[in-house]
Structure 1
Amino acid sequence: MPRNEYQSQLAELREDVVAMSETVADRLEMGLTALETNDKELARTVIEGDDEINQLYLDLEKQCTDLIALQQPVAGDLRFIAASFKIITDLERIADLATNLGEYAEAADDDVFPSVDIQGLGEVTLEMLADSMAAYADEDRELCYAVNDRDDELDTECEIASDTVVRELIEGEEMADEEIETFMEDVSRLLLTIRDLERIGDHTVNIAARALYMIDNNDELIY
């Protein structure tokens, strides 16, 4: 295969991975909006859209494996393709977690703990996703470290949010027996939402770590 065509395929892979990330970010934002507005129709759209993400993943997986099998890349090109493959795996998992948010929104009746800023946590994860993908697209090593550092802040904010739920649960008013089961289901969904947002942050760190490895052959952030 001519060198120009090979380089074009590498560039196309990068563009397609970034495009997948934009679709995943849209689904995450939709899931957060569905939670905030109690929009059941939007929640269903997020849930039903997971198949599209899965197909994007499979298509990109084939691009990566074909490039390795047919071109036998070495050095920087091989790191780029390997990083792209790992990144689409993290993107697919972020999409799964966004689907979880849609399912929580579909099942929830109302906001049981308005003092917990789910939307604020969600905005942080969206920003971390955007920054990690910019690190990949632009080969920006500084952004890789910035995403990693911000994850510590997100973990702390998620821990505070979970502690707030538990504290308010303990201090809450007594309820009739028939109300307790529904309330506890809402509490469980809220704690799962916080956990899933924290996990999304972890996946963005994985993306940043793979981008750093791709750029500098540096595995410092991979764990």
Structure 2
Amino acid sequence: MARNSYQTLLNELEEDVLYLSELVAERVRYALDALEDKDERKAEEVIEGDHEINRIYLDLEQDCIDLLALQQPVASDLRFITASFKIITDLERIGDLATNLAQYAIDAENDVYTEVDIRRIGDAALDMVDQAMDAYESEDTELCHSVAERDDNIDTMCNQASQTIVRDLMTGSDFEGDGELDPEEFLIDVRRLLLTVRDLERIGDHAVNVAARTLYMIDNDDSLLF
């Protein structure tokens, strides 16, 4: 295959990876909106859209395999293809987490622990994903390190939220809800909230993975991979 045609395939792969990231980010935003507004329509849209994300992921996975199998990529191209292969896996998993969040929005019966700012945590995690993809597109090593450094902030926010919930349960503090809640229903909602916090933290972790793979792609630097 002519070199210019091969380069076109590499450029198309990058564009498609970036498109997948935009789609996934949109799904996460919709899921956060659904959680905040108790909007079942948006939540269902996120859940139904997961099929599209999976289809694009599988297509891109095959594209990466074809480039590796049918071409003889030089070292820099090989790193780009393998990094892209790993990054789309993280993006697909973020899409799965968006689906989880949407399902929580549908299942939640009551407002519990409204002092836990889920939207703030979600926006921070999503901003890390956007920054990691900016690093991928622009091949910016400083952005890669910045994403990794921001992960501590997400971890702290999630830990504080979880501790608030568990502390109030342990001490029997009052909670806010709509009327009289059955204790079992309340505990189910609390568990769902803890799972929400956990999934937001995982989105941040996947953003770090994207940054780590991008740094390796750019500079053959594996310092963020371990």
User: Within 2, Cα distance between the matches of 1:91 and 1:5?
Assistant: 27
Unaligned residue ranges in structure 2 (runs of 5+):
none
Equivalent pair of 1:141/1:212 in contact (CA under 8 Å): yes
Root mean square deviation, CA, Å: 1.6
Among the aligned pairs, what percent are the same residue? 59
User: Within 1, Cα distance between the matches of 2:14 and 2:93?
Assistant: 19
Counterpart code for 2:58: L
Equivalent pair of 2:168/2:174 in contact (CA under 8 Å): no
Equivalent pair of 1:135/1:211 in contact (CA under 8 Å): yes
Deviation string 1:175-210 (CA, Å, 9 cap, x unpaired) is 9x9710110010000000000000110000000000
Counterpart code for 2:205: D
1:1-223 equivalences under 5 Å are 1-169=1-169, 170-173=171-174, 179-223=182-226
Counterpart code for 1:188: R
TM-score (norm 2): 0.95
SS at match of 1:221: coil
Equivalent pair of 2:17/2:84 in contact (CA under 8 Å): yes
User: Within 2, Cα distance between the matches of 1:220 and 1:67?
Assistant: 26
Counterpart code for 1:215: I
Equivalent pair of 1:43/1:105 in contact (CA under 8 Å): yes
User: Within 2, Cα distance between the matches of 1:110 and 1:211?
Assistant: 41
Count of matched residue positions in the alignment of Structure 1 and Structure 2:
223
Deviation string 1:70-115 (CA, Å, 9 cap, x unpaired) is 1121200000000000000000000000100011001012321110
Equivalent pair of 1:38/1:109 in contact (CA under 8 Å): no
SS at match of 2:182: helix
Unaligned residue ranges in structure 1 (runs of 5+):
none
TM-score (norm 1): 0.97
Offset of residue 156 of structure 1: 0.7
